[in-house]
Amino acid sequence: MSAAAKSALVIGGGPAGLMAAEELARAGVPVTLAEAKPTLARKFLMAGKSGLNLTRDEPLDAFLSHYSHPQITAITREFGPEATQSFARDLGVELFTGSTGRVFPTVMKASPMLRAWIARLESLGVTIRTRWRWQGFDGAALIFDTPEGRQSLRPDATILALGGASWPRLGSDAAWVPWLSAKGVEITPFTPANMGFEIDWSAHMTNQLGQPVKGAALITPTRRTRGEFVISERGLEGGGIYELSAELREGAPLSLDLAPDQTTEDLAARLTKIPPKQSLTNRLRKGAKLDPVKLALALEWGRPLPKDPEQLAATLKSLPVPLGPPRPIAEAISSAGGIAWGSLTDDLELTALPGVFAAGEMLDWEAPTGGYLLTACLASGRHAGRAAAQRLSSP
């Protein structure tokens, strides 16, 4: 039987699901794409509000080093940053690369790309069903609540692309976990990823809430990075924190270098030149060149600050950050955990459910923001779609 004589179902209308549906349609397989929400790719559109960071223009091995599991690394190697950029350009999206290597659409929005993508899927014959909410299994059938009532489907191949557990209001609510668990699929518990951390601020930080911290180095036992982050009412948020969030979530300590472009010796020498009669605040402002935000952090976390210039310089170069717990998973940009790799073949087929594949953030992997998440979601959807099409074409 040819692939065209068989049918496929993709559940989930995010980037991984859209990519899987396109691969199946290009292989000549009739595809139905079922999405629970009234519109497709809501998390994708939300990401586009800040410019839609598609991928990152950097050497492939450096790019792949940011993934947490070798299998998602191997899959993304097949469809990495260059392929992602070519894919977007084929949809008519003009791109530009920022100073940090992040790649964005020139229009800094996701909606034009999504509209072009949906139009292409429809031209390939993909049937899109919105407001179709998967409700689990009835034997071998997949059950949906739809505007037309309860529907039961028995496709020849199914790709699950339902997302992880972050931003549940946009559709990734992990409601599928008990249904797959009951079928013998191992699920690694979800935890937040790319999230902020709570800080119990003192009253003197009130004026700094909402302010960015720029030009500081963030230090953990394994890494030293430069990245901007924000002082929020609840703690610390932003890309600099998200990049380290996996390590910090596991309890690694964090410290800040508030003067990363100076050695400890140079900083101490500068502080020594400030007359001792100057107030501590003036010594920090004039000698260490701390802006108001960094000055506030030094006073918040460094007290009692030493008077000795060498000791003061050492404190400013390694200021301990008293991190509280991570923010809840519902506020996280992404999640770690999901379908364990031991429950999947190399083709992303569920060993407990032959003919059922999974892709995207349903799988147990994580990566920092900066284009890594979206690229891997596209790559895994492509991988699962191609594998499902190959399965359907087999005798």
Residues 6+ apart with CB under 8 A from 263: none
User: Token pair for residue 213?
Assistant: 């911290």
Q: The dihedral of CA 124, 126, 130, 134: what is its sign?
A: negative
Strands 157-160 and 8-11: parallel
Predicted confidence at residue 4, as pLDDT, reads 56
pTM confidence score = 0.93
Give the type of residue at 212.
Answer: P
User: Token pair for residue 116?
Assistant: 């072009």
CA–CA gap between residue 52 and residue 95 (Å, rounded) = 11
CA–CA gap between residue 355 and residue 258 (Å, rounded) = 54
Residue for token digits 């998390």?
A: 43
Q: Which residues are registered as beta bridge partners of 224?
A: 219
Q: How many CB atoms lie within 10 A of CB 205?
A: 17
Q: How many CB atoms lie within 10 A of CB 249?
A: 19
- The series of mean pLDDT values per 10 residues for the chain, 395 residues long, is 75 98 98 97 89 95 97 98 98 95 95 97 98 96 97 97 94 96 98 97 95 97 95 96 96 97 95 88 91 96 92 97 96 96 98 98 96 97 98 88
User: Token pair for residue 68?
Assistant: 């947490």
Tell me how many helices (H) and strands (E) the chain has: 14, 21
Q: DSSP for 89-144, please give it.
A: HHTT--EEE-TTSEEEETT--SHHHHHHHHHHHHHTT-EEEES-EEEEEETTEEEE
CA dihedral (8, 13, 17, 18) in degrees, to 10, reads 90
CA dihedral (192, 197, 200, 206) in degrees, to 10, reads -120
Contact 10, 156 (CB under 8 A): no
DSSP at 148: T
CA–CA gap between residue 241 and residue 227 (Å, rounded) = 8
The angle formed by the CA atoms of residues 81, 245 and 381, to the nearest 5 degrees, is 35
Sequence-ordered alpha helix ranges (H) in the chain: 15-26, 42-48, 60-64, 70-78, 81-90, 111-123, 177-182, 239-242, 245-249, 264-272, 280-282, 292-302, 309-317, 372-393
CA–CA gap between residue 309 and residue 283 (Å, rounded) = 10
